[in-house]
Structure formats: structure tokens, C-alpha cells
Structure 1
Amino acid sequence: MLTVNQLRCTISVLFLFFPFSAYPWGFFAHERINRLAVFGLPPEMMLLYKANLDYITKHATDPDKRRYMVPAEGPRHFIDIDLLDSPPYRQVPRSWNEAVTRYSADSLNRYGILPWHLEKMLALLTKAFREKDKQHILRLSAELGHYLADAHVPLHACSNHNGQFSNQHGIHGLWESRIPELLADETFDYWTGKAYYIASPREYIWQIITLSGKEADSVLRIEKELSNKFPAGRRFAYESRNGALVRTYADDYTKTYAKLLNNMVERKMRSAISAVAAAWYTCWVNAGQPPLSDLADNSPAPADSLDHLAPLQLRWMEEHCK
């Protein structure tokens, strides 16, 4: 006999696999970033990306789902850069081989490998463009967008990533999910202009990581100060999601925090959209700008199937519906 919670989770899983379903809580920003990045691309690339807009959007969250199935996936999403160096983090080797020599591969996998993994993803996407491999172009584009978006989150560049060391548990979701879902579509300015070429990808990646690492202290400090002014009864509220009553940050608290951050979340989300479009464009240019018109049909990429998604979705629901 299923418990009430198990039944609710089963229903949520069914919603995920049928048309008109809602996506899991917390995926909003990743999907928006990938979707909006497409509209910054030149017409030659838009032929492929616009025709596969739903794929690029939906698969923006695959790396997060894969974390519950692939042990090596976790370190790709973050770097605890404060454990490696102090701002401005110039002592951290930019080369993977040099970093391994200094810290060891095991240590790097504990501290996170996000900037080095981004370099790898750029190389793989460039190769896919060069080979005109539609399946890999779309999959790698969607996943590269995810990792670049992660790099723009200050708490992905900080060992105190969820306030676990400062009695601020849940701050990660507040910054990355609650603020965008509550405010983004109504108040954020998403316009980023046309995609640009990244002349030095490694330097570009580390600029993003460095800025995120520097911003982490403000993200934590401002929320700590605000929480001291709000009693718990005003900080949290309950909302119905997928038939379940869940505890979340109250609207007033969320909006006040976003304002005290001086609209940081909006700026970072806009920067992520711009960076994702620029990364896709750069890979295409570096591949020799191959024509994509013959790939721009409406047939789904081979990996876009329920067989491919089901294990990821089910494992995600198992972990989040306990």
C-alpha cells in the first residue's frame, strides 16, 4: 500500500512523462536561460536552435537529474574556490594538468571541477559542430548551458554552498530558485543583445568564476542580516505544489532579499543568458561555421525519448519525495 507521500510522488512522476506536464521545482531558471539564449544567436544558427527550442529548454536540467545516477557528475557543478585560495583567486592553476599536479585529482573532485569541465564541454561542442552531429550538438548545447548558468551562481563558487556552516540552510534554493520563480518573468529584464565571440574561453570562464566567488560573501551576509529582522513566522510560508503542501520562503521575505541584493539575481541571470549564447556561437565559429540548414528539421534528436529521460526523472523524484 502506497503512503500519501508516495502516491503524490507517483502522480508527480506521471505528470513528468505526459504532455502539458509541469517540471520539477527548482528547474525554472535553467530552462529560461537556455531558452532565451537561443534568441541571441545569428540567423545561421537560429535555423537549428529555434527548430529545437523545446529540446534545448527541456534538457537544460539533465545534468542535475544525472547527479543522482552518476557519481562523477556532482563535482562538475561547483568549485569551492574559497578552500583553494583567497580573492581574487589568482593562485589557482587555470590548466587542469597544473591543477592536478598542485592539488591531486581526488582533491579537485572534492572541491569541484566546474571551470575545467566547462573547457571540456566547449571542446566537445566544437567537435560536434565540426562533425555536424545533430544529436551531440543539441545535447551538448543544452548541458553546456546548464554548467555555464551554474558558474554564475555565487553559492556554486563557495564551500558554504547552502549556508550549512552559518545556520542558513536553504539559502541556495532561495537565491537560485525562489527569487527567479517569483520575480523573473514579471520584473526581470532579459534582453542581452546578440551573441559575441569569446576570444579567450579559459580567461572568460575564470572571470565568471572569480566574480561569483567574490559575491558569495554578500549573498550570505545580506540574508543573515535580513533573517535577524524577520521572525520565522514571516520568513516562511506554505504552498501547494504537485498536490503536496511544501514549506518555502514567503513572498515578502523573498522580495526584500532580492531588493537588498541590488537585483543581483536578475543581473546574473541576464549575464548567464548572454554567456550561454556566446559559448554556443564561439563553438560554431571555431568549428568553421558549418552550415546547419540541413540539420534544421523538426525531427527530435535521437536521445530525446522517454527511455532516455525515465531513469533520470524517476531517480530525481525518489530523492526529492522522501
Structure 2
Amino acid sequence: MPGNKKTSNTSLKTHYLIRRRIILSLSGIGLMLLCSSWGFFAHYRINRLAVFTLPKGMAGFYKTNVDYITEHAVSADKRRYVDSTEIPHHFFDADHYGKKPFAAMPRRWADAATKYSADTLDKYGTVPWTIQYQYYKLVRAFKAHDTIAILNTSANLGHYVADAHVPLHLTLNYDGQLTDQIGIHGLWETRLPELFIKQYNLFAGHAHYIDNPLTEAFKICQVSFKSVDSVLRFERIVNKNFLPDKKYSPVMRGKRKLNDYSVAYSHAYHKMLKGMVERQMRASIRSVGSFWYSAWVDAGQPDLNKLIAQPLSSEERINLQHEEAMYKTGKCIYQTTK
């Protein structure tokens, strides 16, 4: 009947307008979050909890400077706003290099650049080589007993290692823009950790020695890449069960009110992922601590206690002991308003 057709057309038009408005909003969020990789929320916590994986010879120094390590966990992301050469350091679009990219890609930079050109490598991301570069930079900082260099490089290395654990940092379809899933980047690596981190067990055990930092960096990337299909496919499945007015809801980002994925939608996606975000965060924590530890060993295990400028106060030490004790039960209690 004409009346029903008109109602249907009006409904479809309303649906389209809502969807368009939300996509535009999410595009803004996406751009903001893509400049913060895991999201500031997760990066702060990964670097901070990695400190608790370190052995006695390192722990005192890193715990004394844990707030610095935490705060500068996102410095690499902030540089992206002012330095375009920083951008490739955070990802590696493996699928650009064919169906078996990790078999095709030479590990050494010189060999990879000869095969594909340095410009191509820069265009499609350099995170494994960036991790290697930062690793040896940290080794040099330890050997030089350069406190500031140790802290800054540790924070940066931790950031890139964590980025390599994010599946969407390993694909050309980094924000679902090729499959009409714009916003999935922020959903996976920021919205889900923010909503569900209290449910996570983030105890990652002790840092271990890494024989070859470049090989390990590629191994991390390869494991993350294997999850790309699941990350995208599961979101498409969940999306079929939600209309836009149920899929999104207003949230506060600082002082801005924006549309983001609703709690119900996030919960459905999170459940379908079966702990993937939790596992990747936990793996990030252990890997970051392990890269720090290995660099220290390769530098000859210098006495870091001599570099402690000012010991923690009694209150700071007690608070940190409580935080570490909670971490050993799997809980992250660190909070920040940043």
C-alpha cells in the first residue's frame, strides 16, 4: 500500500541519516585513535605493568622511574602529529606483500630494501625494523649509563613492541575502510580495553631473554597477522544483529561528547573474540619487559641502582608494592586521567 511504502521510505531515510552521521563521527574518532595505536589507555598500562616483569637487577631503577616510563608510553604517538616520518614506525601492512608475506619478506633491512625498495617499505610500514633499531639504541644507552636515554628509549621501544601485537597494525585494511567497517580500529584496541580491562588477567610472568630482536619482532607481527581475518569477520557477524541506534551511543572523550560503540555492541564483539584483546595485552606486557631485559643483558648488565637519582618515598614504595601485588593476581589498578 502507498502508506506503507511511504513509511518504509521514511524509515530507510532515517536509518541512512543516522548511519551517515555516526560514520562521520566515528571517522573523527578513528583518526584520533589511529594516532594513538593501542589507545593511550592501553599503552600506559602495558609499559607500566612491563616494569613488574623485570628481574631484581633492573626492577629498582625501573620502579623508581615507573611514572616516567608510563607517561612517555605514548610519546611515539604524539610525534606523529608533527613528524610524518614517524608514521611508518607503528605498523607493517603484511598483506601488501602477497598471500605469504612473511615467507616473501627478507628479514634484514638492506635485503628487504633491495627486493622491494626503501620507499615501499616506508609506505607499508616498518615496525619490525623500528623495534630492532630501538632495541640496539637501548643497548647503547645502557652501556653509556645514560639515564634519560635509557628511559626514553625504553618507553619508545615498549610502544612499538605493543603496536606489533595489534592485528589491525598488520593489514592494509587497518580501520575496516576496505570492508565498510570504519571505526573497528578504535573499537578493538581502545573501546574494548577501556570497558573490560577489569575482567582481564594481565599477569604476564617474568621477562625472558630474546636471542634475536629482529627475528622476535617479525614473529610477533606474524602471530598478530594471523588474527586479522577473525578481527574483521567477527565484527561483521555482530554488526548484522544491531541497528545503528543500538550499535552506537554517546560517550565522553575528555570534554567532547561523541558517538562510539555501545556497551551492548562492544560486549557482543568482545565475547565473540574469546579473550583475544586480553591475550594480546598480556603478550605485549611480557614482550616489552623481555626486550628491555634482553637489551640490559646484551649491554653487560650494568648496575642500574647507581643511576637512581632519588629513591621512592615510603608512601610511593608502599603504593607501588600494592600495585605490583595486585598485578600478580592479574589485576591492573593503575588509573590516570590523561
Settle same-fold status: TM greater than 0.5: yes
- Which residue number in structure 1 is paired with residue 26 of structure 2? none
Greater C-alpha Rg: 2
- Which residue number in structure 1 is paired with residue 106 of structure 2? 93
Once residues 212 and 87 of structure 1 are traced to their aligned partners in structure 2, the CA distance between those partners, rounded to angstroms, is: 14
Matched-pair contact (CA < 8 Å) for 1:26–1:177: yes
Change (3 A) 1:87 1:229: farther
Matched-pair contact (CA < 8 Å) for 1:100–1:108: yes
Matched, 1:105 2:91: no
Once residues 31 and 223 of structure 1 are traced to their aligned partners in structure 2, the CA distance between those partners, rounded to angstroms, is: 26
- Which residue number in structure 1 is paired with residue 46 of structure 2? 33
Once residues 295 and 158 of structure 1 are traced to their aligned partners in structure 2, the CA distance between those partners, rounded to angstroms, is: 41
Once residues 295 and 179 of structure 2 are traced to their aligned partners in structure 1, the CA distance between those partners, rounded to angstroms, is: 40
Once residues 136 and 83 of structure 1 are traced to their aligned partners in structure 2, the CA distance between those partners, rounded to angstroms, is: 35
Match of 2:186 among 164, 168, 173: 173
CA-to-partner distance for each residue in 1:36-85, whole Å, 9 max, x for gaps?
00001011111110001100001000111100111110000001110013
Matched, 1:218 2:230: yes
Once residues 134 and 190 of structure 2 are traced to their aligned partners in structure 1, the CA distance between those partners, rounded to angstroms, is: 24
Deviation at 1:194, TM superposition (A): 1.1
Unaligned runs of 5+ in 2: 1-35, 312-338
Greater RCO structure (CA 8 Å; 6+ sep): 1
- Which residue number in structure 2 is paired with residue 67 of structure 1? 80
Aligned residue type for 1:127: R
Match of 1:235 among 234, 247, 268: 247
Match of 1:128 among 112, 122, 141: 141
Deviation at 1:252, TM superposition (A): 1.1
Match of 1:274 among 286, 309, 312: 286
Once residues 187 and 100 of structure 2 are traced to their aligned partners in structure 1, the CA distance between those partners, rounded to angstroms, is: 25
CA-to-partner distance for each residue in 1:135-158, whole Å, 9 max, x for gaps?
000000001000000000000000
- Which residue number in structure 2 is paired with residue 141 of structure 1? 154
SS at match of 1:145: helix
Once residues 241 and 135 of structure 1 are traced to their aligned partners in structure 2, the CA distance between those partners, rounded to angstroms, is: 32
Q: Which moved more, 1:196-205 or 1:175-184?
A: 196-205
Matched-pair contact (CA < 8 Å) for 2:95–2:101: no
Aligned residue type for 1:282: S
Q: Which moved more, 1:261-270 or 1:247-256?
A: 247-256
CA-to-partner distance for each residue in 1:166-203, whole Å, 9 max, x for gaps?
1100100000100001111x100011111110112222
Matched, 1:163 2:176: yes
Deviation at 1:88, TM superposition (A): 6.2
Aligned residue type for 2:56: P
Deviation at 1:296, TM superposition (A): 1.4
Once residues 89 and 222 of structure 1 are traced to their aligned partners in structure 2, the CA distance between those partners, rounded to angstroms, is: 24
Matched, 1:244 2:256: yes
- Identity of matched residues, %: 46
RMSD over aligned CA atoms reads 1.6
- Which residue number in structure 1 is paired with residue 3 of structure 2? none
With structure 2 as the length reference, what TM-score do the two structures score?
0.79
Once residues 308 and 277 of structure 2 are traced to their aligned partners in structure 1, the CA distance between those partners, rounded to angstroms, is: 34
With structure 1 as the length reference, what TM-score do the two structures score?
0.83
Once residues 241 and 113 of structure 1 are traced to their aligned partners in structure 2, the CA distance between those partners, rounded to angstroms, is: 30
Once residues 253 and 131 of structure 2 are traced to their aligned partners in structure 1, the CA distance between those partners, rounded to angstroms, is: 33
Once residues 189 and 211 of structure 2 are traced to their aligned partners in structure 1, the CA distance between those partners, rounded to angstroms, is: 29
Matched, 1:198 2:202: no
Deviation at 1:114, TM superposition (A): 0.6
Aligned residue type for 1:240: M
Once residues 274 and 287 of structure 1 are traced to their aligned partners in structure 2, the CA distance between those partners, rounded to angstroms, is: 20
Matched-pair contact (CA < 8 Å) for 1:85–1:92: no
SS at match of 1:247: strand
SS at match of 1:90: helix
Deviation at 1:247, TM superposition (A): 1.0
Q: How does 1:245-260 map to 2 (within 5 A)?
A: 245-260=257-272
Deviation at 1:260, TM superposition (A): 0.4
Unaligned runs of 5+ in 1: 1-22, 300-322
Once residues 217 and 243 of structure 1 are traced to their aligned partners in structure 2, the CA distance between those partners, rounded to angstroms, is: 35
